[in-house]
Amino acid sequence: MKTYKYKIGDQSNCMRIGNLLDDMWQVHAYFHKWQRQRYKDGFGYANYAVMCKQLTALKRTTHRHWNMLPSQAIQEELKRIDVAYQRFFNKLGGRPHIKPRHKFKSFTLKQAGYKLKNNRITLTLRKFENGKWKRNPIAYTFHKHRQWHGTLSRITIKRDSCGDYWLYIITTYTDFKSLPTTGQSVGADNVIQGMDLVYSQTKSGMKEAYLTLSTGEKIQHPQPLKSNLNKLRSLNKALSRKVKGSKGWWRCVRQIARLYRKISNQRKDFHWQLASELCKKFDTIILETLNLDGMKRLWGRKVSDLAFYQFVGILKYKCQKHKRHFEQIGQWTATTKPCSACGFHNENLSLSDRQWTCPKCSAHHDRDINAAINILRAGIAVT
C-alpha cells in the first residue's frame, strides 16, 4: 500500500465537500447511537451486514435524503464503525465514541462515485431537481506534484484543521527499488534517555543531540516548536483579546491552526530526511526501545517536540521499503554503563557525566557514543 497526498485547490465548490462531510457525520452519529440503543434494549451487536440492511430500510422510509450521499462513502463509514467495535470487543481499544461534527474529517470512496483524469477529480454528487435525485458531477482540481504508481485501491478526501481539503490516493504499489547494500551497521542512542539531564542543564545552554550514532556522529534536532514558540504565544495572546466567535477571533484561530500545521510539517520533514539518510548509509539500524516510564514522567513540550515515536514509525517504514534490517533492543539491556572497549561495568557513572574514562582499560568515552556502540553490539547479538 502506498498513499499519495494532494492538495485540492481552493474553490467555491469545496463548500460542497464540507457539506457532504457534515451529512456523512449524521450517518456516523446515527449508527453509533443506534448501536448503543440496541445494547440498552438487550439486542446483540449488529455487524456490518445488519447495519447495511438497516441503512437500506432507512433510505426507503425515514431518511430518504441519504440517497443523495455517495453510497460507497456510507458503506465505508459503516465499515469503520464495525472495525471500531471489533477492536473494542477484542480489547484492542476503548468504547467507540461519537465524534463531534467538527472532528469528522474524512470520507472514503472505493471504485464508484468519482473519476480521476489528469489533475482533476470529478465527484458524482447528487442534487434534488423536479422531485427527483439527479446526478451532479463536480470537478475539483488538485495540485498533482507527482504521478502515482500502482493500481488504485481507494481514495479519501480529508479536511484538515486549517479548513483545507486534501485528496489521498491509496494504491497497491509495493514494487520499491531497494537501495544498494553498504555493509555498514549502526546503533543509535536517542536523547530521551538522557532527558533528565537536558532539563537540569538547559540553563547552562547545553544542547543535546537528537541521535548519537555509534560512528560518533551527533544529529541535532531543529526543534520546530521551540523556534515557533514566540510566534505561537503572541498569536494565542491575540486570540484571548478577541471576542469569542467574532470574525477576528476566527481569523486568529485559523492562523494558529496554520502555524501548528507548519510546525508539524517541519518536524515530519526532518524525520523523513533523517530516516532516508540513515537508510542510504547503513544496512542494519539498531535503536533502543523507548523508555515509556521516563517519557511519561517527562511528558512535556520538549519530548513531544522531538516526536520520537513518529520518527521510529517512519524509520521502520523506510527500512521495510529499502529492505534494511531494523532492530530495537529491549529497554532493560544495559547500554550506558558498560565500557565499550573492555566491558567493565562502571557503576559510579552518574547522569551528569558526559565524558568518562574507564578505570580498567583507561579508554576515554563520550557517554552517548559509548551507549550507541553498546546498542549496536546488543542488536547484533540478538540477530
> Binding residues for Zn ion, per CB under 5 A?
339, 341-342, 344, 358, 360-361, 363
Instruction: Tell me the closest approach of the beta carbon of residue 154 to Zn ion, in angstroms.
Output: 57
Our CB check for Zn ion shows the closer of 157 and 339 to be: 339
Least distance from Zn ion to the Cβ atom of residue 255, Å: 55
CA geometry: angle 100, 105, 111, nearest 5 deg: 135
Residue placing its CB nearer to Zn ion in the complex, 298 or 341:
341
| Nearer Cβ to Zn ion (308/356) | 356
Minimum CB–partner distance for residue 356 and Zn ion (Å):
10
- Report the distance separating Cα 373 and Cα 363, nearest Å: 14
Among 130, 32, 19, which Cα is nearest to 70's?
19
Q: How far is the CB of 179 from Zn ion (least distance, A)?
A: 36
Q: How far apart are CB 370 and Zn ion at their closest, in Å?
A: 10
Question: CB 349 → Zn ion: shortest distance, Å?
Answer: 12
Q: Nearer to Zn ion by C-beta: 10 or 353?
A: 353
Confirm if 325 and 285 have CB atoms less than 8 A apart. yes
Residue with Cβ nearer Zn ion (20 or 371) = 371
- Positive or negative, the CA dihedral 181, 187, 192, 194 is negative
Nearer to Zn ion, 221 or 377 (CB): 377
Q: Which is nearer to Zn ion, 108 or 374 (CB)?
A: 374
Nearest to 52 by CA among 77, 21, 24, 88: 77
Which among 281, 284, 285, 282 is positioned nearest to 312, based on CA atoms? 285
- CB-nearer residue toward Zn ion: 225 or 339: 339
CB of 358 to Zn ion, least distance (A): 3
CA within 13 Å, CB half, 136: 13
Closest contact distance (angstroms) between CB of 345 and Zn ion is 10
Task: List C-alpha distances in Å: 19 to 2, 64, 65, 105, 125.
Answer: 28, 17, 13, 11, 11
Spatial distance between the Cα atoms of 242 and 169, rounded to a whole number of angstroms: 39
Q: How far is the CB of 212 from Zn ion (least distance, A)?
A: 19
Residue 125's closest CA among 10, 11, 19, 5? 19
185 vs 370, which CB is nearer to Zn ion? 370
Count of other CB atoms within 10 angstroms of residue 383: 9
- Which residues are 141's β-sheet partners? 120
CB of 284 to Zn ion, least distance (A): 25
Nearer residue to Zn ion within complex by CB, 163 or 343: 343
